[in-house]
A and B are shown apart, each in its own frame.
Chain A
Amino acid sequence: MIEVRGIVKRFGDFTALDGVSVEVPAGSLTALLGPSGSGKSTLLRVIAGLEQPDEGVICLAGQDVTKIPPQARGVGFVFQHYAAFKHLTVWENVAFGLKIRRRPRAEIRQRVTELLELVQLARLGDRYPAQLSGGQRQRMGLARALAVDPKVLLLDEPFGALDARVRKELRSWLRRLHDETHTTTVIVTHDQEEAMDVADRVVLMNGGRIEQEATPRELYDRPANEFVMSFVGPVNRLGDAFIRPHDVELLLEPNGSTQEAMVQRLVHLGFEVRVELMRDDGEVLSAQLTREQVEALELLPGQIVHVRPTRQTVFQ
């Protein structure tokens, strides 16, 4: 378990972490989500000991490690830009932590073989990082971090530098890996879809503070505030009310509770269609419909429709 209590971290005049407290349950996969500059990466680096906090306490597995150097914290860290040791082969990269710990040769050989197998790089052990693709490099980074049997695994935007397809592939692979090893894992990401896809719990940060801490579903269904609501998915604003595009119903006839709007544009995204609308007072909003619904309504740009929210959220 990771316990973070009242962490403050300043860089000159800038307060990166403004009194952050959070608990990461043992064996969980938790995502630190937030826009850039929200302090999520700094928090991860503070947990790893790569940054010293100005105030607050970090406990790993019940032990106060605030004053313990990163070398002795037993964390595995995976970096966005891989941080591969480019002068070492894939094999040597993975063996690095074990060699530092002066483990017997036979043990190193067995462990590295095992890990390269696990990350599907067994045949590329004698390559140099420059000869690997981004996805392969990041799997190597993961194997390297796992080699030392870390108490916690910390991943800082691990898939941020990869293209969309590889990112999705690695994401679900990471999830399967976690389900096998159950290492307490924290992943930093700015991508809400990634956080919701991979994590058991999501900690949403903004401006050096925590906005909400919840399961992906709770976060989406019961956002604590406006920021959370608009960060975890697209949102329309009608007066004080926030409405998700999939909670906007379009009707061809007015029925008393509806408002008039003109179809501006139809965006076909495969199964779903995004309908961009403008109300007569100039407000724009979007509705998310299925292809069948759009066909049934026979929607065309320029057409007048009647809009009704099926579900809306108002924050006090």
Chain B
Amino acid sequence: MAARAAALPAPRARRSAAPGLAVGLSTLYLSVIVLLPLAALGWRAHGWNAITTPQAVSALELTLVASGVVALINAVAGTAIAWTLVRDRFFGQGVVNALVDLPFALPTIVAGLTLLALYGPRSPGGVDVAFTRWAILVALLFVTLPFVVRTVQPVLFELDTEMEDAAVSLGASRMATFRRVIFPNILPAILSGVALAFARAIGEFGAVVLISGNLPFKTEVVSVYVFGRIESGDTGGAAAASVVILGISFGVLLAIGGVRRWATRHDR
């Protein structure tokens, strides 16, 4: 048996049947759909002063902070919702499950309108956050809700419950079992969801534009700022600002991808 203790090779990625063709097609598709428009954007960008004005910097800061906060809240709330949907059985579960996708299905401008009716000056509940930074938070939370739920849910569903039984039989409390066993196993999924939610929040326009009031230095997010540049005929500045957001989004996605790789190191 000692001889057999010698290593099994780690599982390797399987080669696809026609690797050259598959890679070529993927690259072509990605180029036409994603890279080309982005390159055009970079080409059009000029007048970099459009993004160094105090108004632009303020919009950028607000967008990044709001998106960060929203991503964090989603990480917790989304995981909790996914947990309830997978582990609990309750009346109306199917409805709740379907409800989670609603922000995806709704045109974001409709979402903005709904939120304005609910949390605006004529709020039936007396909660008026319109034209404040809270409004931005609410709007972004609404449109990004599905991401973490939908990335964590299948992972939680597939998670081996015997692993939890094992932890419990070894003396781990419910809390310790979650912290030491469940959480590390769903962390990659949470990170994926957070990355998607963050990226979406940075670029969100429709849901925010109605309810935030778009007050420069106060409630103007960067997408609305870009729209403003276009309206005033400064497409070059708009493109420049867009390139900056794009760069930041891409950087964040890469960073989270890196953390995700680290968190799944045991699968390779």
Interface residues of A (CB under 8 A from B): 48-50, 69-73, 75-77, 79, 81, 83-89, 96-97, 100-101, 120-121, 123-124, 127-133, 135-136, 141, 144-145, 147-148, 169, 173
State which of B1, B5, B180 has its C-beta within 8 Å of the C-beta of A124.
B5
Tell me if A133 and B171 are in contact (CB < 8 A): no
Tell me if A100 and B7 are in contact (CB < 8 A): no
Chain B residues whose C-beta falls within 8 Å of the C-beta of A96 in the assembled complex: 167, 170, 172, 180
Nearest to B164 among chain A residues (CB) is: A83
Which residues of B (161-191) have their CB < 8 Å from a CB of A?
A: 162-163, 165-173, 176, 180-181, 184-185
19 contacts between A and B (CB under 8 A): A50-B165, A50-B168, A71-B169, A77-B169, A81-B160, A83-B160, A83-B165, A85-B181, A86-B266, A87-B185, A100-B172, A100-B180, A120-B1, A121-B5, A128-B267, A131-B7, A133-B8, A135-B4, A148-B170
Given A100-B176, A121-B5, CB of A48 within 8 Å of CB of B171: no
Number of A-B contacts (CB under 8 A): 93
Q: Is B40 an interface residue (CB 8 A)?
A: no
Complex Cα–Cα for A71 and B164 (A): 12
Other A-B contacts than A71-B172, A81-B160, A120-B1, 20 sampled, CB-CB below 8 A, are A48-B169, A71-B168, A71-B169, A71-B171, A73-B169, A75-B169, A76-B169, A83-B160, A86-B267, A96-B170, A100-B171, A124-B5, A128-B266, A130-B267, A132-B8, A133-B4, A135-B4, A147-B170, A148-B171, A173-B1
Chain A residues whose C-beta falls within 8 Å of the C-beta of B168 in the assembled complex: 50, 69-71
Chain B residues whose C-beta falls within 8 Å of the C-beta of A49 in the assembled complex: 169
Complex Cα–Cα for A75 and B181 (A): 19
Which residues of B (1-22) have their CB < 8 Å from a CB of A?
A: 1-2, 4-5, 7-8, 10-11
Shortest Cβ distance from residue B180 to the other chain A in the assembled complex, whole angstroms: 8
Shortest Cβ distance from residue A41 to the other chain B in the assembled complex, whole angstroms: 11
Number of interface residues of B (CB under 8 A): 29
Chain B residues whose C-beta falls within 8 Å of the C-beta of A131 in the assembled complex: 7-8, 10
Shortest Cβ distance from residue B12 to the other chain A in the assembled complex, whole angstroms: 12
Chain B residues whose C-beta falls within 8 Å of the C-beta of A84 in the assembled complex: 163
Interface residues of B (CB under 8 A from A): 1-2, 4-5, 7-8, 10-11, 160, 162-163, 165-173, 176, 180-181, 184-185, 265-268
Tell me if A144 and B11 are in contact (CB < 8 A): no
State which of A123, A130, A147 has its C-beta within 8 Å of the C-beta of B10.
A130
Shortest Cβ distance from residue B161 to the other chain A in the assembled complex, whole angstroms: 9
Tell me if A97 and B171 are in contact (CB < 8 A): yes
Shortest Cβ distance from residue A50 to the other chain B in the assembled complex, whole angstroms: 5
The 6 residue pairs across chains A and B that have the minimum distance between CB atoms: A97-B170, A83-B162, A128-B266, A77-B169, A83-B166, A87-B184
Tell me if B169 and A50 are in contact (CB < 8 A): yes
Nearest to A81 among chain B residues (CB) is: B162
Complex Cα–Cα for A50 and B4 (A): 34
Chain A residues whose C-beta falls within 8 Å of the C-beta of B167 in the assembled complex: 85, 96
Tell me if A77 and B166 are in contact (CB < 8 A): yes
Chain B residues whose C-beta falls within 8 Å of the C-beta of A83 in the assembled complex: 160, 162-163, 165-166
Complex Cα–Cα for A173 and B2 (A): 13
